[in-house]
Amino acid sequence: MSGDARPELSLVFPVFDEERNIGRLLDEALDLAPRLAADFEIVVVDDGSRDGSARVISERLRDQPRIRLIRHAANRGYGAALRAGLREARGERVFFSDADLQFDLDELSTLLAHTRDFDIVVGYRSPRRDPWPRRLIAAIWGALVALLFDLRVRDIDCAFKVFHRHVLEVIPIASVGALVNTEILVRARQAGFRIHQVPVTHRRRRFGRQTGASPRVMLRALFELATRYRTLRRPLPGSAVARDGA
């Protein structure tokens, strides 16, 4: 890629304390991406990792100019890391996933196949391999979001999504915590973007610790939901909802 030309595809990975996973993830991404796009980039956001994640990423950077690193000096939260990566991504199509190896990156090809007809393609875990308490929390959260915003998405927080560039240029992202996926999809529907859902393989985490269902993360998400509820209910200027007078 040279000058101001955009790559065909950006792969965005937020990372927090994934020392035992990030190396393999980047190797898989570097193997897959050339088969999906002639020109691509990989954007890694190290959200203040306290383990050796930064060292592993830096080792890959020496030999791989396709990898771009954003580093937060301290942990800012999942939403803040994802927002930073999506803003930095330059691709015509932008994909993101987590760095915990719970998804099969090869299935990105399935999502991309649908981008000819849809603005956003979102995965849903089928079946979901998380422990039952985490699945219960996800079900309650999904029901709450459906009630508040009439958003009917099977797996809101599934970290396997791809967007056309124009979607990210329109949607503002303010969330710093786990509300981020809800915010993106609520805003996307308001703007009239076409959303398509496809099943994706899900695996149990082998290394590292899950934090998505920790009390701190859940309380932060609920706090953000409470403080941003009215803002999210208010259509963006020029959105499909605003034009229809809803």
Q: What is the DSSP string of 98-139?
A: -SSS-B-GGGHHHHHHTTTT-SEEEEEESS--S-HHHHHHHH
What average pLDDT does this structure show over 201-224?
Answer: 80
3-state secondary structure of 193: coil
**Buried b vs exposed e over 205-233: b needs ≥16 C-beta within 10 Å?**
eeebeeebbeeebbebbeebbeebeeebe
Most confident of 125-129, 159-163, 176-180: 159-163
pLDDT tens digits, residue range 68-99? 999 999 999 999 999 999 999 999 999 999 99
pLDDT value for 237 = 74
Query: What pTM value is reported for the model?
Result: 0.91
Look up the domain containing 46 and give its range. 9-244
| CA 126 to chain CA centroid, nearest Å | 18
Q: How many CB atoms are located within 10 Å of the residue 48 CB?
A: 19
Q: What is the band of 164 on the pLDDT scale with cuts at 50, 70, 90?
A: very high
Q: Is residue 4 part of a domain?
A: no
pLDDT value for 239 = 63
Q: Is residue 17 part of a domain?
A: yes
Q: Is residue 2 part of a domain?
A: no
Contacts 24+ apart (CB under 8 A), 234-239: 235/190, 236/170, 236/171, 236/172, 236/187, 236/190, 236/191, 239/190, 239/191, 239/192
CA angle 83, 239, 9 (to 5 degrees): 40
- pLDDT, averaged across the chain: 91
pLDDT tens digits, residue range 22-62? 999 999 999 999 999 999 999 999 999 999 999 999 999 99
Q: Is residue 1 part of a domain?
A: no
Q: What is the band of 217 on the pLDDT scale with cuts at 50, 70, 90?
A: confident
- The DSSP bridge pattern shows strands 67-72 and 120-125 to be unpaired
Q: Is residue 103 part of a domain?
A: yes
Q: Is residue 77 part of a domain?
A: yes
Beta bridge partners of 13: 44
Q: How many CB atoms are located within 10 Å of the residue 132 CB?
A: 8
pLDDT value for 218 = 83
Q: Is residue 51 part of a domain?
A: yes
Total structural domains in the chain? 1
CATH of the domain at 187: 3.90.550.10
Q: Is residue 3 part of a domain?
A: no
With contact defined as beta carbons under 8 Å apart, do 39 and 8 qualify?
A: yes
Contacts 24+ apart (CB under 8 A), 48-54: 48/16, 48/72, 48/73, 48/74, 48/75, 48/76, 49/15, 49/16, 49/17, 49/18, 49/19, 49/75, 50/17, 51/17, 51/18, 51/19, 52/19, 53/15, 53/16, 53/17, 53/18, 53/19, 53/22
